[in-house]
Amino acid sequence: MVTAETPPRPTTGACPNCGGERLTPVRRVRVSKARVAADLAHCTSCDFLFLADPTWLDVAYEESFYGDTGYVDRNLHASRLLRLLLVIGRLGRFGASEPGCDLGTGLGMLPRLLRDHGFDFHGTDAYAAMELIRPFCGPPGDGAIGCKTAFEVIEHVPCTPEFLRREVGATPLFVFSTLMRPVGEIPGPDWWYYAFGNGQHISFHSRRSFEVAMGRAGMDPAWLVCIDGPVHARALHLIAPSARWRRAFRVAGALVNRGLDGLLLPWLEPLVGLRPRIIPDHYVAMERLRSAAERPPCP
């Protein structure tokens, strides 16, 4: 029988975060509803903590949102932060921050909230139907994307450098959340963020390990800003080459955590020309349904 305290097997292979081979086995655990045995390993070179060889992910995502009790609250707070950040960018003429795309959007709540307040945001998710954001699923056209977001996605990604290269790339503004461990700390087996029961969380970064991932993805670690969320420290993050965006993120985070966005946004959003997309989006959705119904059936 494998328990949270079962001694792990020796960990072999390279670290998926830095490519190093200084891997230390931490403990063996059971993950997902299938109770698959998995090894928690720590890279002493880059401080990355991860579940090795995650072969159980198809089973884990059969119930995508099971146990994700923070989904609604997280998206409400994220929408407030992004609305204020993007408004500051418009006021300061920092450069194009739209269209935007929410990676791993789930039901599509975040882009729906942003569109309701006038922002041109879309969503993508390989494991969800994105009911709330249809028909604005998928990347927004062939042009450049001004802002990408990924709330509670990084801990699901087996190789962060590859994710940053492929999904973020040269995007000027990337806002995301993941709970970062203090550098060098390996939480005990009962740490809630492991969420071994559903088996979806496989990567547990510290700031040090994440900066290593950025470097391997061709990004300057100085572009990273980490701020506290409303509940957890070191939970909200931004990657931006522009120092103005980094300063704006700190300001927006401080104002939102104090609830001051509720006083500012009702008059700032109309000031920068934002108008709700609720009714226009309804017409787009109805037109796409009509067009689909009028297509001839396949022979």
Residue 51, H or E segment? strand 49-51
For 197-208, how does the pLDDT look when each residue is reduced to its tens digit (9 = 90+)? 999 999 999 999
Residue 271 pLDDT more than 60?
Answer: yes
* Pairing, β 100-103 against β 147-151: parallel
Residue 298 pLDDT more than 50?
Answer: no
Domain 71-278 in this protein, CATH class: alpha beta
Gap between the Cα atoms of 212 and 215, Å rounded: 5
The torsion angles phi and psi of 116, rounded to 5 degrees, stand at -60, -25
Domain spans in the chain, listed from the N-terminal domain onward: 71-278
Q: Shortest CA distance to 208 belongs to which of 45, 9, 33? A: 45
- 281 in Cβ contact with 115 (< 8 Å): yes
For 231-249, how does the pLDDT look when each residue is reduced to its tens digit (9 = 90+)? 888 899 999 999 999 999 9
pLDDT category, 2, cuts 50, 70, 90?
A: very low
pLDDT (average), residues 83-104: 93
pTM confidence score = 0.90
- 100 in Cβ contact with 149 (< 8 Å): yes
